[in-house]
Amino acid sequence: MRNMRKTTLFVGIVAGIAIALLAGLGTSTQTASADAGPHVDTGTDSTPDKCASCHRIHTGQNEYLLKEAGSETDFCYSCHGTGGPGSDLAAQEGTLYGGAGDPYGDPYGGKTELATVGLRAGGFDAARIDTTDPSAGYGSAAIGVLATTETVVSNHAIDGTAGTTWGSGPIGSGAGEPSVTLGCGSCHNPHGNGQYRILRPVPVGAPGAGYAIPDTYPKAAADYATPDYLNMYFGGVAPANPIVDDRTPGVSILMDTSAWCAQCHTRYLAEHHAADPADASREDSGDPIFTYRHTSSGYGYSSYRDPAGFKFNNRACITCHASHGSNASMPGPASSSVEWPDGSVVNPPNDLERASLLKMDNRGICLKCHNE
């Protein structure tokens, strides 16, 4: 009973915040454009108004003088929660709002959910990934979108549960960094920073040197979502290959996001880096745990088709994994009992099923590229 009263009260607070914040947002924008909403870099504005949407100077109810007593996740969900109360990007349920006839942008809430696309990152509580999509073959393989959401099985835990940042740190440094608690702000900068999806170049707690993804990718409302979770290039179009080794950010979202995920999961990043076919997956990294690794950097040397050279490819973190969470499940005994990198079979926070944010059930993801 106590809990129920708390919950009801909390919903009231959250709705109040969303409305108060939205009132402060000013004129209507018709696109879900980057750094929009309250996440605006104030730049040269000497009298910014936004601060008051989130902070109280003498009467803060939380650390960092935040005006809301709930967790940071609750705070973000007051706009990015189920139903899209304060943004069309409902990260909690992996859904983009603003159907035919509905304008994108504010006013938020009460719009139609889009059933033909799903948010690129998947979702934290629910997602629309067609995790049993049977399509296969070069040029035909895809991972479609479900018309209705399904409950998520694994996610980056933002509910306060601690877990291990697998593969964090240099070669030979163990399974990863234990007891890490994530929040939305571990990866995103709530103040806006002019980077792609306001991602922090150095995520909180990351041992990496930092990787800034420039905000140069398309950002119409539909670009925050995808109709195909296998091909994560914007518009499904692969960028032109550099052939010479050129790692300029802002060209391939697959290369960029892999380099970014590896700021935390350092030792998961692997690529073909030379003409020698005996590298990448057949090269011993020297690490006793992450010893041989599937290519994952979305980039590398390829002799396939003329000319040979450095090319973008789809072997990237976000081809196989959803960034926020996935509804894929692991009913098969082999897939569900894979040991974690530290050798354990049970590990919080996702120890119910070993689903690992994958986009297909069991190892269906392998068949999207290999036809064994």
The tokens describing 292, both together, are 């041989």
CA 281/CA 271 separation, integer angstroms: 8
Q: What tokens were used for 323?
A: 């960034």
Q: Given the complex with ligand HEC, which of 129 and 355 has the nearer CB atom?
A: 355
Count of positions (residues) in the chain: 372
Which one, 1 or 250, has the nearer CB to ligand HEC?
250
**CA–CA separation, 219 and 200 (whole Å):** 18
Residue 223: closest CA among 372, 95, 120, 110: 120
Shortest Cβ distance from residue 219 to ligand HEC (Å)?
6
Residue closer to ligand HEC by CB (options 4, 38) is 38
* Least Å from the CB of residue 251 to ligand HEC: 15
**Rg, Å, the chain Cα set:** 21
Decide whether 184 or 286 has the Cβ nearer to ligand HEC. Answer: 184
Q: How far is the CB of 1 from ligand HEC (least distance, A)?
A: 28
Q: Which two tokens stand for residue 165?
A: 């940042």
Which residues, including other chains, have CB under 8 Å from residue 298's CB and lie 6 or more apart?
252, 254, 255, 256, 257, 258, 312, 313, 314, 315, 316, 317, 319
Q: Cα 257 to chain center, whole Å?
A: 9
| Integer Cα distance of 43 and 110 in angstroms | 32
**Based on CB atoms, which residue is closest to ligand HEC, 5 or 67?**
67
Q: Which of 227, 230, 262, 225 lies closest to 247 in space, CA to CA?
A: 262
Closer by beta carbon to ligand HEC, 4 or else 286: 286
Pairwise CA distance, residues 133 & 25, whole Å? 40
CB of residue 324 to ligand HEC, shortest distance in Å: 6
Burial 335-372 (b: 16+ CB within 10 A, else e): beeeebbeeeeebebbeeebbbbbbbbbebbebbeeee
Of the two residues 2 and 44, which places its CB atom closer to ligand HEC in the complex? 44
Nearest-approach distance from CB 240 to ligand HEC, in angstroms: 18
Rounded alpha-carbon distances, angstroms, from residue 173 to 145, 203, 252? 39, 19, 30
Q: Which is nearer to ligand HEC, 144 or 185 (CB)?
A: 185
- Cβ nearer to ligand HEC, comparing 2 with 27: 27
Question: Which residue bears the tokens 């910014």?
Answer: 48
Minimum separation from the CB atom of position 8 to ligand HEC (A): 20
Report, in Å, the least distance between residue 235 CB and ligand HEC: 13
Lookup: tokens for 40: 């605006």
For residue 29 the two structure tokens come to 């924008």
Cα separation, 223 vs 226, in Å, equals 7
Rounded least distance, CB 2 to ligand HEC, Å: 25
As measured in angstroms, the least distance from the Cβ of 328 to ligand HEC is 10
